[in-house]
Amino acid sequence: MSSLERSDGADDSARAGFAGRLAAARRVLLAAALAGGIGVVAGGLDPVVAIAGFGVVAAAALLPGRARRRDLSVASSQTQPPVPDDRLARLVAALPDAALLVDRRAIVLAANARIEAAAGPPQLGEPLSFTLRIPEVLEAVRAVAGGGPARRVEFQARIPVDRWFEAHVAPVRFSEPAPEAAAAASSPDVVLVMLRDLTQQRRLEQMRADFVANASHELRTPLASLSGFIETLQGPARNDVAARERFLGIMAEQAKRMSRLIDDLLSLSRIELNLHIRPERRVDLVHVVREVIDALGPLAEERGVALRLIEQAPSLPVQGDRDELIRVFENLVENALKYGGSDKGIEIVCAASAREDGTREAVVSVIDYGPGIAPEHLPRLTERFYRIDVPRSREQGGTGLGLAIVKHIVNRHRGRMAITSDVGRGTAFVIRLDLAHSPLSG
């Protein structure tokens, strides 16, 4: 803007201010003029004195005093909310944790990029409750904005998966409070809200507890069996060659079972630890299913069961972890071979489906035509160590963790699993994952 334009703007502002004061003081000026005129005509007042008196009254009415300007300035500074400058916004952006800055009315002034992963996209210029809908945190912000000390609040968010956070709510003052207000609580200029993600820490603690509990429970039986066989070999069967060979074979199988159990427990613990972190790579489910069918082909031939792949879509790109998705369909197809195999074979159907909201999803179904599963068992199939037929499961080498692993992997991928079954007709496991629209990985 040129100096001439600034000068014109200032002149316009001055003229507008003078016109306003003139309109407000018109009655006072009219009364002063009448009084002066009457004094000159009727009272013999010197005209010069009358004019001078009118000038004093006019100056007092039309010229704003310093006190009035000072009061207006103070009032303006009290009603105008503090707005952070670019330096403060850059400071918030550089913080290692999710953070945002709000004013005394809890209006969001600034936020960093990490806040979106913790609480969703920040709504700048809107109330904090639009971004963070946690009553305990909002109450802490109100208390701190009212002059209270800094607060820490732990809370749990359950959507889309369970996550734990610690919110640190702190007052920020741009200057020291006045001496007369030092004894009383003074409101801060802005309030800083930082969210620290405690999910990994909480899951690690839970993983340790679950691993110890599960391992101690499930390893007790095979260890007791091994101990019994060892005692027998040291005693009555010491010189019985046939018994020794049979017992050693059983002990070897028990040792393999314990090894599989520990491997599955560790796999499940790792998946649960990262349950809140959605995989970012792109994988084609059709390629994954083909690889699984190739790997399990020898087992299918051994059991005399045909594996049929039905591709209703040429590709199904999803956002996922390739190794984990292979584990999902390996477990499902292997279970179908072990528990649902029949002369009708097993079908793996790959398709795409549209949802009511217009988005699309990948749908992979593993269908067998075996004996089926009774309805009372269906709700518990994905519980860890749940088995419909314990002896048969152990005979097939199962640990009771396969479907629990499948469920947790699907949850980590923000997908859904459905199980339907008719006794005597077969069972279908259906996995649904969001379709992705970006370059594929592997």
73 in the same domain as 44: yes
190 in the same domain as 47: no
Where a domain ends, among 31, 57, 79?
79
Domain interval for residue 364? 280-442
Kindly state whether residue 63 falls inside one of the protein's structural domains: yes
Kindly state whether residue 25 falls inside one of the protein's structural domains: yes
Domains of the chain: total: 4
391 in the same domain as 430: yes
Kindly state whether residue 43 falls inside one of the protein's structural domains: yes
Kindly state whether residue 292 falls inside one of the protein's structural domains: yes
Alpha-carbon distance 310 to 293, whole Å? Answer: 12
Where a domain ends, among 63, 79, 95?
79
Assign residue 208 the CATH number of its domain: 1.10.287.130
Where a domain ends, among 79, 105, 131?
79
Q: Is 11 exposed, middle or buried (0-12, 13-18, 19+ CB in 10 A)?
A: exposed
Kindly state whether residue 116 falls inside one of the protein's structural domains: yes
Assign residue 149 the CATH number of its domain: 3.30.450.20
Alpha-carbon distance 111 to 89, whole Å? Answer: 7
336 in the same domain as 414: yes
Kindly state whether residue 386 falls inside one of the protein's structural domains: yes
344 in the same domain as 229: no
Alpha-carbon distance 224 to 41, whole Å? Answer: 128
168 in the same domain as 212: no
Q: What is the CB neighbour count within 10 angstroms for residue 5?
A: 9
Assign residue 318 the CATH number of its domain: 3.30.565.10
The H-or-E segment that residue 228 falls in is helix 220-234
333 in the same domain as 442: yes
pLDDT tens for the chain, residues 1 to 442:
444 344 444 445 445 455 555 555 555 555 555 555 555 555 555 554 455 555 544 555 555 544 444 444 444 444 444 445 677 788 888 888 889 999 999 999 988 888 887 888 888 888 998 888 888 999 999 999 988 999 999 888 876 667 888 999 999 888 776 655 554 457 888 999 999 988 888 877 777 777 777 776 667 777 887 888 888 888 877 888 888 888 888 888 888 878 888 888 888 878 877 877 889 899 999 999 999 999 999 899 989 999 999 999 989 999 999 999 999 999 999 999 988 877 889 999 999 999 888 889 999 999 999 999 999 899 888 887 777 776 666 666 667 788 999 999 999 999 999 999 999 899 999 999 999 874 444 4
353 in the same domain as 213: no
320 in the same domain as 429: yes
Q: What is the CB neighbour count within 10 angstroms for residue 83?
A: 12
Alpha-carbon dihedral 391, 396, 402, 404, rounded to 10 degrees = -10
Residue type, 207: M
300 in the same domain as 435: yes
Nearest Cα to 128, choosing from 149, 148, 106, 150?
106
389 in the same domain as 245: no
Joined tokens for residue 187: 């409101």
Kindly state whether residue 153 falls inside one of the protein's structural domains: yes
pTM of the entire predicted model? 0.54
Q: Cβ neighbours of residue 99 under 8 Å, at least 6 residues apart? A: 92, 111, 112, 114, 115, 192, 193, 194, 195
Kindly state whether residue 180 falls inside one of the protein's structural domains: no
311 in the same domain as 270: no
